[in-house]
Amino acid sequence: MTEETKTNPWAGFARGWFLLMFSDELEPGQVVPMKRFDQELVLFRTDSGEAKVLDAYCPHMGAHLGHGGKIEGEGIVCPFHAWKFDGTGKCVEIPYAKRIPPKASVACWPVLERNGMIFVWHDREKSQPDWEIPALEEWDDAEFLPWRYSKLQIKTPPLAIAENLADAGHFIPVHNTHPIPGSFSNTYTGHVGQQKIKAVAYPVHGGKDEFESTATYYGPAYQVTKMHGKGLGVIINAHTPIDDDNVMLRFGVSMKATEGMTDELIDHFIDNMRDGYLQDVQIWENKIYLDRPILCDGDGPIGEFRRWYSQFYTPRSKAADAAE
């Protein structure tokens, strides 16, 4: 490891909304243990359908609520001594005790369910969210297909994934996608970073597609790409840290089933979009971080992106200055 790689300023985990699951992966009454942000968590859906995230370990004797815990109504019951915690993390019932200890609770994480996805808010300062994931009009459009999604655990820092937003130079060698000169642009406003491009693509499964796309990051880890070409598609690219070295990458695709488009053609487009995106993974898993990369005039605004991205690793009181 060189001294260059040791200066990585992106230590810890960013502030923002992170995708945990697509909504139809979590049924009422289901309990899912997971490790995210180097912490043990439990995700569950109550009987009424509310998704909740709590710290995983029971404060009584340390049992993991995600392994054997059961949903009763709007709360989760510890598998060890049947202490029951509501959706806020407060202990509301101990079957063998007359008095509930005042400090009997576990930390509750802010959750937002929108566009057929479940998000959790991470903030090292333990503050409440100061922005929300916007609604997708395509999610309410009956002509768009349900999400087709996949997940993949990869060993890479989150920056390597998000930095593609500004990386104009990788389109041709990685994706065989040829941008129209002058069409690539980036804009950054508050917590929103956006890329626009027009290009000619030669996808991995064959064919040729002339398209234009708008890729928008809402915070550090949730990206929505809208593509207009032979078809109209929406791509979800979301990564959530598991620990300091690994992220869970979630990828979803939906397309508008317009007249004349066969199921076979739709499948072809979706496979191309998904597998084209996954071309980046091998590179992400094997690259190193360079604090001062040697750039050239066709690379895209990498420095501007990093200034914007740094706000999510900066204390909230200094985040606005970091983004400028």
- Whether 89 maps to a domain, the answer reads yes
DSSP state of 161: H
Distance CA 209, CA 207 (A): 7
214 and 161 co-located in one domain: yes
Residue 84 lies in a domain: yes
Q: Is residue 66 part of a domain?
A: yes
Is there a domain that residue 11 lies in?
no
Question: In terms of pTM, does the model score above 0.85?
Answer: yes
Q: What is the CATH number of the domain that holds 200?
A: 3.90.380.10
What's the domain count of the chain?
Answer: 2
Same domain flag for 293 and 157: yes
DSSP string for residues in 251-309:
EEEEEB--TT--HHHHHHHHHHHHHHHGGGHHHHHH----SS----TTS--HHHHHHHH
Residue 129 located in a structural domain:
no
Q: Which residue segment(s) compose the domain that 25 sits in?
A: 16-122
| 80 CB-near residues (< 8 Å, 6+ apart) | 58, 60, 61, 63
Paired residues of 118 in beta bridges: 21, 113
* Residues 148, 104 within the same domain: no
pLDDT at 4: 43
Write out the H or E segment, with its range, that includes residue 167: none
Q: What pLDDT is stored for residue 256 in this prediction?
A: 85
What pLDDT score does 324 carry?
63
- Asked if residues 244 and 252 have their Cβ atoms less than 8 Å apart, the reply is no
Q: Are residues 71 and 100 in the same domain?
A: yes
Residue whose entry in the numeric block shows the structure tokens 């009422």: 28
For residue 255, count other CB atoms closer than 10 A to its CB: 23
Per DSSP bridges, beta strands 177-179 and 39-45 are unpaired
Task: Name the H helices within the chain.
Answer: 3-6, 158-162, 171-175, 263-277, 281-286, 302-309, 316-323
Closest CA to 74 of 32, 44, 33, 109: 44
Query: In angstroms, what CA-CA distances link 194 with 15, 25, 47, 164, 295?
Result: 18, 29, 38, 11, 21
Contact present, 253 and 236 (Cβ < 8 Å): yes
114-123: per-residue pLDDT in tens? 999 999 999 9
Residue 215 has which token pair?
A: 């890729």
Residue 196 inside a domain? The answer is yes
Residues of the chain with pLDDT under 50: 1-6
Residue 213 in domain: yes
Q: Which two tokens stand for residue 137?
A: 């009009």
Residues 161 and 302 in one domain: yes
CATH of the domain at 37: 2.102.10.10
In-domain check, residue 159: yes
